[in-house]
Amino acid sequence: MKRWFALSAIGRDRPGIVADLTELIYDCDCNLEDSSMTILGTEFAVLLLLTAEKEDTAERLSSACKRLEWEKRLTVFFRPLEGEPPPRAPQARPYALQAIGVDKAGIVAKISRCLADHGVNIREMQSQSRPQAETGTPTYTMRMALDVPETVSERNLRERLEEVARDLHIDVNLERANG
């Protein structure tokens, strides 16, 4: 029987982290189904979706993760999942959202709350704060991949996002995405 696991890891960025983690997966007879990896400041963060057939996989992963934490100074966490992750709901429409403005507290919180209030699922998000070349003023940029339910009015969602954007003094762009 196929078993599913989620694994996350974080550690100071260095060459070899991906090799260390994927060797652990291979050594535990797991298959890497999906992954997301990025550098956050000086840290490298990883989210992985794994499958395995063997009954003792959880014990093997636990032991291997502890060894990797000790030997490579990574923080590693995994957990078994309750069956196969469901595919994206067919009634959801894909959208892309981008928000840009002077960096301030609350941008992600207020936009994500607006989306949650409309039943919108955030599939993926990237954000960064960088100083403007001319002034040094920190500019915050956020990009999201969204699943918007068919039952949600695009017009109402746009209007509410525009209200949030006005309150935060930022620009928000919502576009229908492919796929």
CATH of the domain at 51: 3.30.70.260
85 found inside a domain: no
| Co-location of 76 and 98 in the same domain | no
11 found inside a domain: yes
Tokens of 64: 């291997």
Question: Which residue range(s) make up the domain with 121?
Answer: 92-176
Tokens of 57: 């996989």
Length of the chain: 179
| Co-location of 114 and 169 in the same domain | yes
pLDDT value at residue 83: 83
pLDDT value at residue 88: 64
pLDDT value at residue 156: 97
Q: What is the end-to-end Cα distance of the chain in Å, rounded? A: 31
95 CB burial (10 A radius; 0-12, 13-18, 19+)? buried
Closest CA to 65 of 120, 147, 5: 5
70 found inside a domain: yes
86 found inside a domain: no
| Co-location of 123 and 53 in the same domain | no
pLDDT tens series, the chain, 179 aa? 899 999 999 999 999 999 999 999 999 999 999 999 999 999 999 999 999 999 999 999 999 999 999 999 999 999 999 988 777 666 899 999 999 999 999 999 999 999 999 999 999 999 999 998 889 999 999 999 999 999 999 999 999 999 999 999 999 999 999 86
Give every CB contact of residue 91 below 8 A, 6+ residues apart in sequence.
Answer: 149, 150, 151
Residue 150 in contact with residue 174, Cβ under 8 Å?
no
Strand locations in 13-89, DSSP E?
30-40, 43-52, 75-80
Within a 13 Å sphere around the CA of 49, how many CA atoms are in the beta-carbon half? 11
Tokens of 118: 């409309």
> How many structural domains is the chain composed of?
2
| Co-location of 49 and 121 in the same domain | no
| Co-location of 54 and 103 in the same domain | no
Final residue of a structural domain among 80, 102, 118: 80
pLDDT value at residue 91: 82
| Co-location of 61 and 136 in the same domain | no
pLDDT value at residue 68: 94
| Co-location of 113 and 171 in the same domain | yes
| Co-location of 63 and 19 in the same domain | yes
Residue 37 in contact with residue 54, Cβ under 8 Å?
no
